Amino acid sequence: MILFTPGPVMVRDEVLAESSRQVISHRGPGFRKLLASVEELINIVAGNSDGLAAVMPGSGTTAVDSMLWSLVEPGSRVLALSWGDFGDRMVESLRRRGARVTRVEAAWGEAVPPGDVEDLIKGHDYVAVVHNETSTGVAYRWLRRLAEAASSAGARLLVDSVSGLGGEEVRMDWGIYAMATCSHKALAAPPGVGVVLLSGEAVKRLRGRPPSMVPPFMDLSSYVRFLVERGETPYTPPVNALYSLKRALEYIVDMGVDRYIEMHRVKAEVLYNTGLEPFPRDAGYRSNTVVALRAGNAPRVKRVLEEYGYVVALGMKATRNSVVRIGTMGATTLEQVSRLAGLLRELGQGS
């Protein structure tokens, strides 16, 4: 079976083989060298020239919650943009943290352009947004402008780029305060590693912060302190998953980040031309990494595709029966994508 899900994804053989290495001590020089390599490579991919990456065991959700709870204090005013399930999860996490959340919504399949919220940012401490909404296939391609607007208003931009980084253009150097991602989406490594990219400003703040009420495992100040002072992680890391992530990041950097992003765009374009209606209404924000298509009887489409050896995902919540979501991430070839597109085209004609 070939995975075309929005994560986890197919992993190249050489990346997968790395995870079979013998485990090493996470308090020894071998691990410190491994972590330093992962740190250097992911900062290149994320365009993070003056910050660092907090690497932890877990999923994208682990990284997002750690970012929100470590950087947002109870009572902070947060403007949260949401047009999908993962935007809703950010809002819920912020509210549980005790933040005062102003929520700006758009219908699923749409997004709110920055011009509509720039005036609303004033008076808020943070702006929170999902860069690539996995539930709807919407890519928010105005992050740079949003970061500039937030900075002008004295706010800090927090980004969930779990399914974006690597497949959609994004750079921490645009003025993003912090960004969460993980190993098993567009970075195309096995699951198990959560990452929070921190700007230099965020690092400085975390290093100078006294102990907080954040659960220890989620407290990014510990990750920053251990990384800066010891070159280690505060808790046992997923060593073997990090071996694989290092190899996956080397592949991206060797190819070139822009070329790697373009590879995802080309795959997505093939799928957007099957005759099935894209779920995102505006072509300008249709994702490169998660292609969401209206499919009539989506469960039937999914079942038929599986009979041919292709695994895709259904829509989420209200779209479960009417949308299929197809990941372009991972070690799938353009030829495989084209075959899948042909099957979708036939299924669409027969519906």
Taking the CA atoms of 11, 164, 134 and 223 in sequence, report the sign of the dihedral they define.
Answer: positive
For residue 21, report the phi and psi dihedrals to the nearest 5 degrees: -65, 160
Beta strands 126-130 and 77-82 are: parallel
pLDDT for position 348: 78
pLDDT for position 351: 52
Q: According to DSSP H, which parts of 19-129 are helical?
A: 29-45, 60-71, 85-97, 118-121
pLDDT for position 209: 80
For residue 193, report the phi and psi dihedrals to the nearest 5 degrees: -120, 120
In order of their start, the domains of the chain are 13-253 (3.40.640.10), 256-349 (3.90.1150.10)
Q: Rounded distance, CA 301 to CA 33, Å?
A: 46
Q: Are 324 and 137 spatial neighbours (Cβ–Cβ below 8 Å)? A: no
pLDDT for position 230: 97
Summarised one tens digit per residue, pLDDT across range 118-134 is 999 999 999 999 999 99
Task: Report residue 97 as tokens.
Answer: 């943290």
pTM exceeds 0.95, yes or no: yes
pLDDT in tens, the chain (351 residues): 999 999 999 999 999 999 999 999 999 999 999 999 999 999 999 999 999 999 999 999 999 999 999 999 999 999 999 999 999 999 999 999 999 999 999 999 999 999 999 999 999 999 999 999 999 999 999 999 999 999 999 999 999 999 999 999 999 999 999 999 999 999 999 999 999 999 999 999 999 887 678 999 999 999 999 999 999 999 999 999 999 999 999 999 999 999 999 999 999 999 999 999 999 999 999 999 999 999 989 999 999 999 999 999 999 999 999 999 999 999 999 999 999 999 999 987 655
Q: Rounded distance, CA 298 to CA 158, Å?
A: 33
DSSP 277: P
Task: Report residue 280 as tokens.
Answer: 């995102």
For tokens 């399914």, the residue is 163
pLDDT for position 347: 87
| 37 Cβ neighbours under 8 A, 6+ residues apart | 246
What is the b/e burial string over 185-197, where b = at least 16 CB atoms within 10 angstroms of the residue's CB?
bbbbbbbbbbbbb
